[in-house]
Structure 1
Amino acid sequence: MIKKSVIPFCLMASLTFGMTAYAEPHPSDSAFDNKIVKRIKVDNIYQTIEDLSAEPRVAGTSSERNAVKYIEKKFQSYGYETERQSFEFYSYSGPTDIAFSVSGFDDTDWELGTFTYGVNGSVTGELVYAGLGREGDLDDLDLHGKVALIKRGEISFADKVKNAAEAGAEAVIIFNNASGVINGTLGGPDDGYVPALALTREQGQLLLEKLESDEALTATVEVEGAETKESTSYNVIATKKPDKHKDNGQIVIVGAHHDSVEGAPGANDDASGTATTLELARVMANMPTDTEIRFITFGAEENGLLGSYAYAESLSEEEIENTVGMFQMDMVGSRDAGKLIMYTVDGEKNVVTDLGAAAGSRLSETVNYGQEGRSDHVPFAEIGIPAALFIHAPVEPWYHSPEDTIDKISKDKLQEVAEIVGGAVYQIARPDTPALENAHVAPGPVDYDFEERELE
C-alpha cells in the first residue's frame, strides 16, 4: 500500500533555523544532548519491549487492545493526556487448510503459497494456461468451470484473479516468475474473487510444459478456514504542549507502530520502536520546549500502514503546514540486524535526516540515509511533511517470525537510537533554537551519504 510520494516545496524546512543552530550546530548542542542522554534509561525500554512482546499484537484483536491500554497508561503515568484514535479496517485470517493436486502428478509435493484476502472453496476442473491473466490474454479462452494457470507479472494478483473469474474460471493458480514461494496479497476483500493458490516458478513451468504439449490436466484446488472481517484498530496519541508564552507554532511527530504480524511476538517489530517512543516521551515530559511534540503509536501498520494513513488524513491543512518533521522508529533493537540508517520515501535528504545525522555525529557516529517506504513515514511524506524511517538494515533473519523475541534485543542499539532521535527532536523543540521556517531545506550540518542498502 505504498503510494507515490508528492512533497510540496512549501513544506520543506528551513532557512532561518538552517543558517543558525541547524546548518552550523552551536557548541552548546552537545550539552543539550546530554540532558536527553542522561535521562534515558535503556532498562525502561527493554522492560517495555518484554511486556509488549508477551504475545503477538495483531491489529483488531484483543491482544492489540491490551497493548493500546498498556501504552495509554504509560503515557498517562508521565503526565500526558492521551487520545485514542479508532479506525475500521478489514482484517484477514489465513486459511487453516490448503491443498492442490493435478492428474498425473500423484507423487508431487507441491510448494504452495496463499494470498491475503483470498477466499475459501473446493474446485475441480480442467487446468488451462491463461498467460499473465490480462484481459487480452483471456479473450480467446473458455475458462468456464475450469482452473486458470497464470504467470506472475505486469498486473496485480488481484487483477489476475478477478479477470480469470470474470472469464468463468472457478479457481486460479499463480506461479512465480522468480525463485521461491509467493505469499502475496489481493489488497483487500472483493466479492469477485475465486479460490487462489500460488506455486513456485519451477512447478508452474512443469505444468505449463505439459499443457503446451497438449496434455489434458485436471486440477483440484482447496482452501478452507480463511476469514475476512471488519475490525477496529487504534492509534495512541500523547501530546506535549509547548511552554506557555513560548509557542512558536511548530509541531514535531515521533512515532512507531505497536501492532505485529500473526504468530510473531514482535519484540523488534515493532515493540522496540514503541518502547523507545514511550521512553522519549518520559524523558521530555518536563523539559522546556517551544514546539508541540506528538508521540504516536500506530495500529495496523502490518495491514498496509492503515493507522498512519488514518492519522495523516485527519490532519488539517494548518497542522500539516506547521509540522516540521516526522521521526518514525521501526525495528530499532535487534542485535542481529545491520547498522542504523534513515530512509526517506523519495531518497532525498530532508530536515529529519539532517537533524538525525547531526545528532549521530555528536553522539556516536554519522548515520547515512537511503530510499525506502514500507513503514509509517510514508503517509506523512505523501502529504508534504518531511519524514524519515529510523531502522537497522538489513533486518534480522527472523523478521516476521515466532523468533522475534526479547532475547534477540540489544540494549546498545536501543540506547543509540533513543539518543539520536531524542537529540534530533530536542534540537528542534528546545526554546533556544529559532523556529524552522517553511522554505527550502538547508545544507546538512554534517556530511552524510546516500546508501543503496536493502532492508532484506
Structure 2
Amino acid sequence: MKYLPFVATLASSALAAGINFAQLLDQKPLDIADNIKWELKPEVDSAALQSAVNELDLKIEAANLFKVAHGSVFEYGHPTRIIGSPGHWSTVNHLLDTLHHLKHYYDVDVQSFEAFTGILKSFSLSINGVVPKSADALDLTPPTPGGLPVTGPVVLVDNYGCQASDYPFNVTNGIALIQRGSCSFGQKSELAGLRGAKAALIYNNEPGSAKGTLGTPTPHMVPSLSLSKEDGEAVKRQLLGSGSVSATVAVDAYVKKFKTKNVIATTRYGNDSNIVMLGAHSDSVAAGPGINDDGSGTISLLNVAKYLSKFKVNNKVRFAWWAAEEEGLLGSDYYVSKLTPKEKSQIRLFMDYDMMASPNYAYQIYNATNSENPLGSEELKNLYIDWYVEQGLNYTLVPFDGRSDYDGFIKSGIPGGGIATGAEGLKTEEEAELFGGEAGVAYDPCYHSLCDDLANLDYGAWVVNTKLIAHSVATYAKSLDGFPLREEASPVKMTAQPNFKYHGPNLVL
C-alpha cells in the first residue's frame, strides 16, 4: 500500500500526457511506476543528447580511473588496469556502481570468463655480440629457464615455419629464425619448441618491426622475440654466407590465467529486435594506467549511458565494456561466441570506440565497406563522415583490419565500424595540415606506456568524439529506417576477414 500515493501521482501525470494507464494495471506497482516514468521521458534526440556532453564530466571520470589504476601499484610497481589487477577490478566495480544508479533504465549483466595475460619483466637479445635495435618480446611469450640467458646457434627455418617439415633437425638446442607470414606467431613458436629449439626469432615480412602475440599458451611454445624485416634479413644473409651465427636470448616473464568480467547494460525498453550496440574495452596493458587506451572510450560510453537515461528510445541500446581486449579481443570474442543465432540477428549493428582522446590526434573513421563486410557497415561509416562534415571538421579513413573489438561481430555477420584518434602510428604531413599537431610523431606517444595518464588526453578531441558517439546512439536508438535489414543482407563476405592482419592491437600472422 505504501506505493499507492506515488503511483497515483504518476497516474495523474500519465493521464495528462495522454498515456493509457489502464493498460498498465496488471503489472506490479513499481513496474507501473517505471513504465509511466518511461513514457513521460522525451523521445531521444541527437542534438539534445549531444548537448549533454561536457568536458568536466570527462575530467571527473578520467580522474576516477587514474585513481583506481593506482590500486595496482603495490603488486605491479606502477598504476595499471590490466586484467586481474586491483586496478581493473576497481574499474569493473566503478562501472557497476554507476550503472546501479540507473537500474530503472538498464538491465545490467556481468559476463565472467577466463583469460591469459602475460607480464614481461625484461628481455634481451644479442646476435654475434650485436644487439638488434628492433628486437621485441612477443606478447604471452614464456620465459627462458629461470629468466636466465640461453645461447645457441641461429638456424634458418624454411618457408614460413608453418609445417613441422620446415624445421631442420639441427635447430634442436638452437635458436630458430623464422619469417612472419602464412600462420600465427603461436604456431611458429610451438613448432620450434616441438623440434627442440631453445628460442624463436620471428622477423617481419614487410618493412618495420613486428610487435605481436603468441596467443593462447601451449606447453611447447618457446621464448619468442620479434625482429624487423631489415634485421631479420641481415641475419639470414649472414647464415647464407658464413653459415655461422650465434645468439643469446633472455626472457624474464610469466603467463597467468585470470578470471575477468565483461559488463553489459541494455535499456529495459525499446524494440528488442532492433538492438543498437556499442562497446569499449575496460582494461589496459600492464605497462600503464591506460587513460586514453581505452579509458577514454570507457568513459565516453559511461557518460553517454548516463545522459541517455533521460530519454525514451524506440530501439534498445546495449552498452558493453569488454575485458581482456589487450590480450587479443578476448572479451568481445567471448561475448559473440555465446550469442544464439536469434540473439545475433537482434543486434542490428555494433559500434566500436577505442582511443577517443589521443594528444596528437586525427579524426579517424574505420573504412568499413559493404563489399567486404556485413551490409550496413558502410552506412555506419557514412554516418560518421556526414557528422564530421556537418561540424566543419576534417576526417581520415583508416584500415578496417581487426585491431579492435568489432572483429568478432564482423566475422559473425553483424555490421560494424567505429572511430578512433590514433595509436602508435605516425601522423603524416597531410594529417598535420588537416588536424594540427606534429607530423612524424605518434598520434599517441604514450601508447601502451606508463605515461598514458591524465596528461595524455586532448580534451577538445575527446569532447568532439563523445558528441559523435552520442549522435550515433541517438540516431539509431530513434530509428533504423533506411538501415539495411539483417534478413535482407547478402551472405557475409568472409574472404578478407580470416586473413585480418591484426586481432586486437597486435599482429597475429
Bin the TM-score by the shorter chain: 0.7 to 0.9
Work out whether 1:430 is the aligned partner of 2:467: no
| Matched length | 406
Q: Quote the Cα distance in structure 2 between the aligned partners of 1:391 and 1:240.
A: 25
State the SS of the aligned residue for 2:293.
helix
Work out whether 1:317 is the aligned partner of 2:365: no
**CA, structure 1 residues 116+290, in 2 after alignment: closer, same or farther (shift >3 Å)?**
same
Work out whether 1:392 is the aligned partner of 2:421: yes
What does residue 142 of structure 1 align with? 170
204, 207, 218: which one pairs with 1:190?
218
Q: Structure 1: which 5+ residue stretches go unaligned?
A: 1-30, 442-454
Q: Quote the Cα distance in structure 1 between the aligned partners of 2:485 and 2:153.
A: 65
Q: How big is the shift at 1:375?
A: 0.9
Checking the alignment, whether the CA contact within 8 Å between 1:358 and 1:424 is kept in structure 2 is no
Q: How big is the shift at 1:378?
A: 1.6
What does residue 142 of structure 2 align with? 119
109, 113, 118: which one pairs with 1:83?
109
Q: Quote the Cα distance in structure 2 between the aligned partners of 1:220 and 1:114.
A: 14
Q: Quote the Cα distance in structure 2 between the aligned partners of 1:153 and 1:434.
A: 41
What does residue 353 of structure 2 align with? 329
Q: How big is the shift at 1:188?
A: 1.9
Q: Structure 2: which 5+ residue stretches go unaligned?
A: 1-43, 70-79, 428-442, 490-504
Work out whether 1:51 is the aligned partner of 2:64: yes
Q: Please provide the CA RMSD for this pair.
A: 3.2
> After superposition, what is the alpha-carbon deviation per residue over 1:289-322, rounded to whole angstroms, capped at 9, x for unaligned?
1211111111111111111111122223222222
Q: Quote the Cα distance in structure 1 between the aligned partners of 2:235 and 2:364.
A: 45
Structure with greater proportional helix content: 2
State the SS of the aligned residue for 1:255.
strand
What does residue 109 of structure 1 align with? 131
**CA, structure 1 residues 231+366, in 2 after alignment: closer, same or farther (shift >3 Å)?**
same
Work out whether 1:242 is the aligned partner of 2:269: yes
What does residue 92 of structure 1 align with? 118
Q: Quote the Cα distance in structure 1 between the aligned partners of 2:479 and 2:208.
A: 54
Identity of aligned residues (%): 26
**CA, structure 1 residues 114+386, in 2 after alignment: closer, same or farther (shift >3 Å)?**
same
Q: Quote the Cα distance in structure 1 between the aligned partners of 2:51 and 2:241.
A: 73
What does residue 383 of structure 1 align with? 412
**CA, structure 1 residues 142+66, in 2 after alignment: closer, same or farther (shift >3 Å)?**
same
State the SS of the aligned residue for 2:193.
helix
What does residue 232 of structure 1 align with? 259
Checking the alignment, whether the CA contact within 8 Å between 1:356 and 1:421 is kept in structure 2 is no
State the SS of the aligned residue for 1:186.
coil
> After superposition, what is the alpha-carbon deviation per residue over 1:208-227, rounded to whole angstroms, capped at 9, x for unaligned?
44443445454433323x21
State the SS of the aligned residue for 2:289.
coil
**CA, structure 1 residues 127+379, in 2 after alignment: closer, same or farther (shift >3 Å)?**
closer
Work out whether 1:407 is the aligned partner of 2:452: no
Q: Quote the Cα distance in structure 2 between the aligned partners of 1:387 and 1:432.
A: 14
36, 41, 46: which one pairs with 1:33?
46
Structure 1 length as normaliser, TM-score?
0.78
**CA, structure 1 residues 436+280, in 2 after alignment: closer, same or farther (shift >3 Å)?**
farther
Checking the alignment, whether the CA contact within 8 Å between 2:364 and 2:397 is kept in structure 1 is no
Q: How big is the shift at 1:69?
A: 0.4
Which amino acid is 1:52 matched to?
L
Structure 2 length as normaliser, TM-score?
0.71
**CA, structure 1 residues 205+254, in 2 after alignment: closer, same or farther (shift >3 Å)?**
closer
Q: How big is the shift at 1:74?
A: 1.6
Alignment of 1:65-84 (within 5 A): 65-79=89-103, 80-84=106-110
Q: How big is the shift at 1:358?
A: 4.3
Flag the structure with more relative contact order, 1 or 2, with Cα contacts below 8 A and sequence separation at least 6: 1
Q: How big is the shift at 1:360?
A: 4.2
Q: Quote the Cα distance in structure 2 between the aligned partners of 1:437 and 1:144.
A: 56
**CA, structure 1 residues 390+166, in 2 after alignment: closer, same or farther (shift >3 Å)?**
same
